[in-house]
Amino acid sequence: MDRVTVVNSGHVKRRFSEYATEIGRQFCPYIIPALEQNILSVHSYRIDVDDLYVAQEELFYLGIIHTEMFRKLRRDGKGGVRHCLCDNVIVDFSADLSSRVAEVMSWPHWLLKILYLQTNVMYGKFWRGQTQKDKLGRDIPSPPFNFLSIRTGIPPIDIERFFAETPYLRGVLAEGADDGEDVHRLVPGAPSQPFDADTLREVRYYRMALSWALATHGDEISSEEAIKIRHGVGMSV
């Protein structure tokens, strides 16, 4: 049985578009232009495993594959496309993990940031039932799906809003630029691009990359942040 299956559902895409429109009209100025230009994409998957670590591993691989697709589209785009381009990776999990989605997403989300912030790529992690407020204290609608959102960073805004608990990453985003470099070259033993999920699984790349990232940034992570990462508390972007 495959660990990951593609879910082709018109209902999912329509419901996500409705949700994104609501968020765009009230909270984010980039979403409506992305919808109007048809550069807000939605891909849906089911990760059908019961083990937390394996689910994190598969989500990480999906994140890599979609980030590399995003980077190519962004390099090929022009003007506003580069700022508004957004890829959303919807993921459903097994019943055993349905109450632990925030925890499933935590370490893959952090690891993707460690690898890709230098290319000015930002990630949001969202899950069903999640409650958040914006900087004005307004309630943000709860997401109808679990998903990773991949977008271009806006350094002055993002650094102020999302990096209070990760100051060691502020400079990375502030200086981020994408010239197409292989960000995985720093991970000892990383496979050669282009990546596919089977190759990443074969070399157990999640374990490899996470060990490298913790060895590189472990001293910078506060115990409080580590707890939040482990349990998926806060730190939505």
Predicted TM-score (pTM) of this structure: 0.90
Q: Name the nearest CA neighbour of 147 among 2, 16, 8.
A: 16
> pLDDT digits over 192-209, tens only?
888 899 999 999 999 999
Render pLDDT for 74-127 as a digit per residue (tens, 0 to 9): 998 765 677 899 999 999 999 999 999 999 999 999 999 999 999 999 999 999
Q: Which position has the higher pLDDT, 224 or 66?
A: 66
Per residue in 37-48, pLDDT (tens digit) is 999 999 999 999
Mean pLDDT of the chain: 89
User: Cα 35 from chain centroid?
Assistant: 19
Per the CB < 8 A criterion, the answer to whether 173 and 158 are in contact is yes
Q: How many residues does the chain have?
A: 237
Q: Helix, strand, or coil here: 82?
A: helix
* Res 235: pLDDT: 39
Radius of gyration of the chain (CA): 17
What digits encode the pLDDT tens for the residues 5-29? Answer: 999 889 999 999 999 999 999 998 8
